[in-house]
């Protein structure tokens, strides 16, 4: 995997070994970033189910001020930390070992400018996170990756890329 744009453009990062983590493909990540790009300079970003950290690292590379990475697996967390070190670290990066739903449940409205989630497709975490965002919009824009067969709440805007879908939720200004 590589970082697509920004100060770390072209920098290669590692994906966790095995099939426990399904990294977002470059094509989908590029589409995702082109949608939120105008919001990233100086943004507060949340990367849930962070895996390799690709989405948060891409955001920091494009000028986000801070990013909270949330990942529950200790093995995957090590790869994320190695990827952060690979790019030289970032003073606004914080890594949290926690389950995404539990982490989000304690957030107040408007805590983040942009939030990403890329939970396992075989779980209902994408839907749980969307419902938590609807109850308390913890980010101005919340974008979640999920299987294209999953139906998300109608207030989101879904874009499909083969078997992958991205649903975007936007808080009212």
Nearest Cα to 139, choosing from 61, 53, 47?
47
* 26-138+159-170 CATH: 3.40.50.150
pLDDT value of residue 46: 98
How far apart CA 134 and CA 132 sit, in angstroms, is 5
Q: Give me the residues of the chain with pLDDT under 50, please.
A: none
Listed by start position, the domains of the chain span: 26-138+159-170
How far apart CA 114 and CA 22 sit, in angstroms, is 21
> In a 3-state reduction of DSSP, which class is residue 82?
helix
Within 10 angstroms of residue 48's Cβ, the number of other Cβ atoms is 28
Token pair of 90 as six digits: 């970032």
Token pair of 75 as six digits: 């093995």
**pTM, whole model, 2 decimals?**
0.94
Sheet of 164-170, strands arranged across: 93-97, 66-71, 44-48, 112-117, 139-147, 164-170, 157-161
> In a 3-state reduction of DSSP, which class is residue 33?
helix
Tell me the per-residue pLDDT of 29-67, one tens digit each, with 9 for 90 and over: 888 898 999 999 999 999 999 999 999 999 999 999 999
pLDDT value of residue 27: 78
Token pair of 143 as six digits: 């974008």
pLDDT value of residue 30: 85
């Amino acid at each position: 995997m590589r970082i697509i744009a920004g100060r770390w453009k072209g920098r290669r990062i590692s994906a966790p070994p095995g099939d426990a983590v399904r990294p977002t493909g470059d094509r989908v990540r590029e589409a995702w970033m082109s949608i939120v790009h105008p919001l990233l300079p100086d943004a507060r970003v949340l990367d849930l189910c962070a895996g390799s950290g690709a989405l948060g690292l891409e955001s920091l590379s494009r000028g986000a001020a801070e990013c909270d990475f949330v990942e529950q697996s200790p093995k995957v967390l090590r790869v994320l930390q190695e990827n952060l070190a690979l790019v030289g670290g970032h003073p606004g990066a914080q890594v949290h070992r926690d389950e995404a739903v539990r982490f989000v449940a304690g957030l107040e409205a408007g805590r983040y400018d942009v939030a990403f989630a890329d939970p396992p497709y075989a779980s209902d975490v994408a839907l749980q996170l969307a419902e938590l965002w609807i109850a308390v919009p913890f980010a101005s824009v919340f974008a979640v990756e999920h299987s294209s067969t999953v139906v998300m709440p109608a207030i989101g805007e879904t874009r499909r890329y083969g078997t992958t879908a991205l649903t975007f939720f936007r808080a009212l200004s």
